[in-house]
Amino acid sequence: MDVLERIKDQVESNPVIIYMKGTPQMPMCGFSSRAAEALKSAGVEFAYVNVLMDQEVFENLPRFANWPTFPQIYINGELVGGCDITLELAERGELQKMMQEAAASKAEG
Amino acid sequence: MNMQEVIEQRLTETLDPVFVEVVDETHMHNVPSNAQSHFKLTVVSPEFEGKTLLQQHRLVNEVLATEIPKIHALAIHTYTPDEWFERAGQAPASPQCMGGSKPSS
């Protein structure tokens, strides 16, 4: 499968997914760490891809949604943004709601 | 001009900001202190009104399309003049780096 199709499949099959450096348990970047913590705090399950372990995704993700940096957070197949946006949404109390709604609509199928 | 000045000038030229601040945070990271690799920018502009956060950041990413690939990390904080007034002029602090090797935001 072409890498862009693989990414498309990942963001569409997971209600919430973060592309990050490292893992939520062992982040390798302060920005990835903070974004993953914000997702964890929401108490909704999410998927992750460690871009440091997948060279193809690392090189091609920036052109998938025309976003130049990591981490990248997708909810319902749509790019939400990077660390700063995710934290801002968490601060406004919107992140948890977005994640809960995405998880619920996925469960309904 | 150093990178901090370049970024500041690009934002000032294109976004007609009410407030712009670019901080070189390289010293917070595990690289030589003169590496000019980690920055945080705060920009307050009427251009952001009516735009989502994603659209606001996309605008900044476009303005800095030449600069972003040259640096390791860029924290972006965008506000409309009204939002900035409500926050009493305070942007959030940036995280410490942990190694990695591709621009982060």
Complex ipTM value:
0.90
> Which residue segment(s) compose the domain that A72 sits in?
3-96
Distance (Å) from the C-alpha of residue A102 to the closest C-alpha of chain B?
18
Whole-number pLDDT of residue A86: 98
In a domain, A101, yes or no: no
A30–B94 C-beta distance less than 8 A:
yes
**Burial label, A104 (beta-carbon count in 10 A; 0-12, 13-18, 19+):** exposed
Query: Which position has the token pair 């990248």?
Result: A72
Distance (Å) from the C-alpha of residue A56 to the closest C-alpha of chain B?
14
Q: Could you give the number of structural domains in chain B?
A: 1
Whole-number pLDDT of residue B105: 67
In a domain, A59, yes or no: yes
In a domain, A103, yes or no: no
In a domain, B19, yes or no: yes
The answer to whether B37 and B26 have CB atoms below 8 angstroms apart is yes
Q: Could you give the number of structural domains in chain A?
A: 1
The answer to whether B53 and A88 have CB atoms below 8 angstroms apart is yes
In a domain, B80, yes or no: yes
Touching A: B residues 69-98, CB under 8 Å = 69, 73-77, 92, 94-98
Average pLDDT over residues B90-100: 76
Q: For the domain that residue A75 is a member of, what is the CATH number?
A: 3.40.30.10
In a domain, B28, yes or no: yes
Query: DSSP readout, chain A?
Result: --HHHHHHHHHHH-SEEEEESB-SSSBSSHHHHHHHHHHHHTT---EEEEGGG-HHHHHHHHHHTT--SB-EEEETTEEEESHHHHHHHHHTT-HHHHHHHHHHHHHH-
Whole-number pLDDT of residue A108: 80
Please determine, for residue A107, whether its predicted confidence score (pLDDT) is greater than 90. Answer: no
Whole-number pLDDT of residue A109: 66
In a domain, B99, yes or no: no
A70–B102 C-beta distance less than 8 A:
yes
With beta carbons under 8 A apart, name residues in chain A contacting B51.
none
Touching B: A residues 34-73, CB under 8 Å = 34, 51-52, 58, 66-71
pLDDT tens-digit readout, A48-91:
999 999 999 999 999 999 999 999 999 999 999 999 999 999 99
CB pairs A-B closer than 8 Å:
82
List, in sequence order, every residue forming a beta bridge with B38; answer none if it has no partner: B73
- Residue B14's H or E segment, with its range, is helix B3-15
Please determine, for residue A95, whether its predicted confidence score (pLDDT) is greater than 80. Answer: yes
- Give the pLDDT band (50/70/90) at residue B102: low
A30–B96 C-beta distance less than 8 A:
yes
- Tokens coding A52: 């440091």
In a domain, B100, yes or no: no
Q: For the domain that residue B68 is a member of, what is the CATH number?
A: 3.30.300.90
> Which residue segment(s) compose the domain that B74 sits in?
3-86
